[in-house]
Amino acid sequence: MELILVNIIDGLVTGLLLFMLSAGLTLIFSMMGVLNFAHASFYMLGAYFAYQISVALGFWMGLLLAPLIVGVLGAGVERYGLRRVHQYGHVPELIFTFGLALLIEELVQFLWGKNQMPYDVPEVLNFTAFAIAGNSIPAYKIFMIFISISIFIGLLYVLTKTRVGMIIQAALSYPRTVESLGHNVPLIFMGVFGVGTALAGVAGVIAGPVLGTFPGMAFVLGSIVFVTIVIGGLGSLWGALVASLLIGWITTFAKSYNILMSDILNGIGISTPENMSENIFRDLWSITSPQIADILPYILMVLILIFRPAGLFGKRES
Amino acid sequence: MKKFTKLGAASALSLIIGASAAFAENIKIAFIDPLSGPFASTGTNGSHQFEFAADYMVNQKGGVLGGTNFEVVSFDNKMSPKESLIQLQVAIDQGIRYVVQGNSSGVANAITEAVEKHNKRNPDSRVLFLNYAAVDPALTNDKCNFWHFRFDANADIKMDALTDVMAQDETMKKVYIIGQDYSFGKAVAASAVENLSAKRPDVEIVGNELHPIGKVKDFTPYSRKIVASGADAIITGNWGADMLGLGKSVIENGFDGPIYTYYAAGSGMTAAFGESAKGRVRLISQGGINPIATEEARATYKAFKEKYPDGNIDQSRIFNVIGMLKTAIEAAGTADDVVAVANELEGMEYDSMWGGKLFMRPQDHQLIQDMNVGVHTDENIEFDYDNSGYGVLTESTVEMAAMDSPTTCKMKRP
């Protein structure tokens, strides 16, 4: 029972982290219609910048400055890269962001090398916040939850309650109308792209010390972010939140408990074949839930695409 | 004018031929390991150590066979057996006769099979596979062949030595075994269960599981299970990013017992573990560097640090590979006839600068050597890893470990 509570907290941390990445990606997609393959790379840049800043100025300055730098970089990429490619259509845009992802990974390896960086949890947060039945919850995890939730609330507030948010929302659906009303739509695009990448940067800053700061970090997280926004519904902030939490909890619980496939199959009334070594479904029978935990989100995505193609909270029907 | 052009072209041509002739003289060694992706750091550090060892131990000392140099050519296999076979073919096409690989026994299994087939079909361009780190026991048992030589101790030998040390800990009652889901991880788990139940029947194995290799983002759920199981000690064969992720995560999430590992040092891991793992992470390896065994080794390590200030010699067996290959080529009097070189390697006795004798067992091509169990600490460390002040201090040594261990290898010689 205690373990369930612990897993809920762990899953929440994973989910919220995923949310910070997918929130930016889903906003950028709904606005520009382009899937930013380099999104996870900005997450990686966030971690590396924060590490470099933390060496000189400490963790907190890293948390403050690194996302800003990443955001400015992101805005620059939109202004001088994507906007030029935009006129040639979506495929060149996709290829552009894909190339950018490879470029950033090589650049990071060139500047920092291939080793893991000793980017650590700050001293002030390096203690056990509380323990549930011997399972300690590090204070840093609580801090991660706190940061992500405040970002979500802030984002929701800006998007729904402020004038800027309203213009953004209008620009999402009717860019031409908004433009003819005298708003600078390209500037809004650039701003949203910058904020989206900055969010990925924040995720990198706070995830770097826990998940490791190494050149493969973007690759490990890259595909799951796309799965998240497809499940949540492209362009929906709430969808991104729900899908992220769902994925966080599903994978955490699947890994924490050794649920055997043979038990499930027995449970639904299929008896274990006697001669296992000659059975063609031998591998299926021996599967355990931790082994397939990481592909569960992909299975969920396929199911969502079949039964609800727009995603959980998606509005687009096209 | 026309004459000039002709002259120019001719001299350019002769230059090219001359240059390629000079290249052809080098004895090339193909290094096939991951240089990109999650295990890039492990592969790159290995490649640096090979390049340095070839240069320092051979080329700077006058080469072999009266002045021929070693040249290490690196190929990125992206940790995939399929990609490795492509790179192997590329290497063979370039006329390379010596292949070294170590990261992942899955890859090693693919290479050793491919090498055997290739050598059977192409007696004129046979290659030797010098395996410096892939430790799946099958490679020197059921899957052994004449072309494969293993310079690291296999997983069984290591586990035998590691459990000898573990068994002395009377307070240990529950052990958790976790590893990467592929042949090596499974071999480690099987060997751990077998050894523990023989040496400490009172110890309960409270967990034995495998996780996907190189794909786990966050080890927290695994750590929770380990803590919840009440384990006093963990055994893992994890390496690279998987080792670091697991180690950091279990310590962070409240596990306070020792972690017995195969590869928890270097490549950024030692720095990242730092204070938190002091006296907790133990690893089994050959050739300890603290305390260093010989003056020669000390000089070598210092020279390495001069060339790669950020690097580590975390796989000192690489120097044994180069040293033994050099000796074998000298003794065979040729580098082109790999059968002759292999015959020299077989049964070779070699004094390692990292301490102890090495013996290439002829019946299965498994190198027999001293095994050390070391601990991650910052005390009495002369050569630290990752410039972190922390390193691995040898605590106990098993001499010529598993010298008489059985093998199922039925070696077919050409």
Nearest Cα of chain A lies from the Cα of B211 at a distance, in angstroms, of: 6
Please tell me whether residue B193 adopts helix, strand or coil conformation.
Answer: helix
Mean pLDDT of B384-406: 87
pLDDT at B183: 83
Nearest Cα of chain A lies from the Cα of B242 at a distance, in angstroms, of: 10
CA-nearest residue of chain B to A106? B36
CB-CB under 8 Å, B272 with A116: yes
Is the Cβ–Cβ distance between B355 and B287 less than 8 Å? yes
Q: Residue A281: pLDDT band by 50, 70, 90 thresholds?
A: confident
Give the one of B38, B252, B267 whose C-beta lies nearest to A115's C-beta. Answer: B267
A24-33, B169-178, B353-362: which range is least confident on average? A24-33
Planar angle of CA A117, A122, A128, nearest 5 degrees: 115
Give the one of A131, A293, A294 whose C-beta lies nearest to B254's C-beta. Answer: A131
What are the φ and ψ backbone dihedral angles of A224, each rounded to 5 degrees? -65, -30
In chain B, how many domains are there?
2
Higher per-residue pLDDT: B264 or B50: B50
Is the Cβ–Cβ distance between A82 and A93 less than 8 Å? yes
Name residue A92's amino acid. P
DSSP letter, residue A86 = H
Tens digits of residue pLDDT in B36-65 = 877 888 898 899 999 999 999 999 999 998
CB-CB under 8 Å, B271 with A7: no
Of B353, B368, B383, the residue at which a domain comes to its end is B368
Does B12 fall in a domain? no
User: How far is residue B309's CA from residue B296's CA, in Å, rounded to a whole number?
Assistant: 19
pLDDT at B328: 94
Query: Are B85 and B180 part of one and the same domain?
Result: no
pLDDT at A231: 92
pLDDT at B10: 56
CB-CB under 8 Å, A214 with B272: no
CB-CB under 8 Å, A135 with B224: yes
CB-CB under 8 Å, A116 with B217: no
Tens digits of residue pLDDT in A132-186 = 877 788 899 999 999 999 988 998 899 889 998 888 888 877 878 888 888 888 8
CB-CB under 8 Å, B274 with A114: no
Query: Measured between beta carbons, which residues in chain B are less than 8 angstroms from residue A294?
Result: 212, 215-216
Does B8 fall in a domain? no
End-to-end CA, chain B:
59
Query: Are B170 and B32 part of one and the same domain?
Result: no
pLDDT at B56: 93
Q: Residue B179: pLDDT band by 50, 70, 90 thresholds?
A: very high
Nearest Cα of chain B lies from the Cα of A33 at a distance, in angstroms, of: 28
Residue B20 predicted with pLDDT over 50? no
B63 has a chain A CB within 8 A of its CB: no
Does B412 fall in a domain? no
Query: Are B132 and B221 part of one and the same domain?
Result: no
Most confident of A235-244, B86-95, B151-160, B266-275: B86-95
DSSP string, B144-158: --TTEEE-SPPHHHH
pLDDT at B184: 86
Give the one of B220, B269, B310 whose C-beta lies nearest to A10's C-beta. Answer: B220
Q: Residue B387: pLDDT band by 50, 70, 90 thresholds?
A: confident
Give the one of A138, A214, A252 whose C-beta lies nearest to B41's C-beta. Answer: A214
CB-CB under 8 Å, A133 with B38: no
User: How far is residue A235's CA from residue A254's CA, in Å, rounded to a whole number?
Assistant: 28
CB-CB under 8 Å, B245 with A114: no
Peptide bond preceding B291: is omega within 30 degrees of 0, i.e. cis?
Answer: yes
Share of chain B above pLDDT 70, in %: 94
Query: Are B199 and B286 part of one and the same domain?
Result: yes
B210 has a chain A CB within 8 A of its CB: yes
Query: Are B331 and B356 part of one and the same domain?
Result: yes
CA-nearest residue of chain A to B256? A134
Determine the structural domain holding residue B271 and report its residue range.
156-291+371-398
CB-CB under 8 Å, A220 with B217: yes
ipTM: 0.77
Tens digits of residue pLDDT in A74-109 = 999 999 998 899 888 888 988 999 999 999 999 998
B216 has a chain A CB within 8 A of its CB: yes
Query: Are B223 and B255 part of one and the same domain?
Result: yes
Does B307 fall in a domain? yes
Mean pLDDT of A242-270: 86
Does B404 fall in a domain? no
Mean pLDDT of A21-28: 88
Mean pLDDT of B14-29: 61
Tens digits of residue pLDDT in B195-248 = 999 988 999 999 888 888 877 878 888 988 898 888 999 999 998 888 888 988
Give the one of B211, B244, B310 whose C-beta lies nearest to A116's C-beta. Answer: B244
Nearest Cα of chain B lies from the Cα of A90 at a distance, in angstroms, of: 28
Contacts of B237 (CB under 8 A, 6+ apart): B155, B179, B180, B184, B185, B187, B188, B189, B261, B262, B263
Nearest Cα of chain A lies from the Cα of B37 at a distance, in angstroms, of: 5
Query: Are B164 and B246 part of one and the same domain?
Result: yes
Nearest Cα residue to B154 out of B405, B397, B363, B353: B405
Tens digits of residue pLDDT in A179-218 = 888 888 888 889 989 999 999 999 999 998 888 888 888 8
Does B407 fall in a domain? no
Query: Are B359 and B378 part of one and the same domain?
Result: no
End-to-end CA, chain A:
44
User: How far is residue B399's CA from residue B352's CA, in Å, rounded to a whole number?
Assistant: 13
Contacts of A27 (CB under 8 A, 6+ apart): A192, A195, A196, A235, A237
Which residues are bridge partners to B394 per DSSP?
B374
Tens digits of residue pLDDT in B94-142 = 999 999 999 988 899 999 999 999 999 999 899 999 999 998 889 999 9
User: How far is residue B280's CA from residue B233's CA, in Å, rounded to a whole number?
Assistant: 10
CB-CB under 8 Å, A210 with B38: no
Q: What is the mean pLDDT of chain B?
A: 87
pTM: 0.79
Selected for mutation to probe chain B from A16, A21, A117, A220 (highest B CB count within 10 Å) is: A220
Query: Are B232 and B261 part of one and the same domain?
Result: yes
Query: Are B305 and B282 part of one and the same domain?
Result: no
Query: Measured between beta carbons, which residues in chain B are less than 8 angstroms from residue A204?
Result: none
Tens digits of residue pLDDT in B281-308 = 999 888 888 888 899 999 999 999 999 9
Tens digits of residue pLDDT in A45-85 = 999 999 999 999 989 999 999 999 999 999 999 999 988 99
pLDDT at A178: 86
Give the one of A135, A224, A293 whose C-beta lies nearest to B228's C-beta. Answer: A135
CB-CB under 8 Å, A211 with B217: yes
Query: Are B382 and B255 part of one and the same domain?
Result: yes
Count of beta carbons in the 10 Å neighbourhood of residue B168: 11
Selected for mutation to probe chain B from A18, A112, A115 (highest B CB count within 10 Å) is: A115
Q: Residue B5: pLDDT band by 50, 70, 90 thresholds?
A: low
Query: Are B311 and B382 part of one and the same domain?
Result: no
pLDDT at B3: 57
Does B414 fall in a domain? no
Higher per-residue pLDDT: B53 or B406: B53
pLDDT at A38: 92
Is the Cβ–Cβ distance between B49 and B267 less than 8 Å? no
Residue B346 predicted with pLDDT over 80? yes
Nearest Cα of chain A lies from the Cα of B232 at a distance, in angstroms, of: 13
B106 has a chain A CB within 8 A of its CB: no
Q: Residue B18: pLDDT band by 50, 70, 90 thresholds?
A: very low
Does B203 fall in a domain? yes
Identify the CATH number of the domain in which residue B234 sits.
3.40.50.2300
CB pairs under 8 A between A and B: 110
Residue B148 predicted with pLDDT over 70? yes
CB-CB under 8 Å, A255 with B41: no
DSSP β-ladder status, B174-180 and B204-211: parallel
Please give the distance of CA B194 from its chain centroid, rounded to a whole number.
Answer: 24
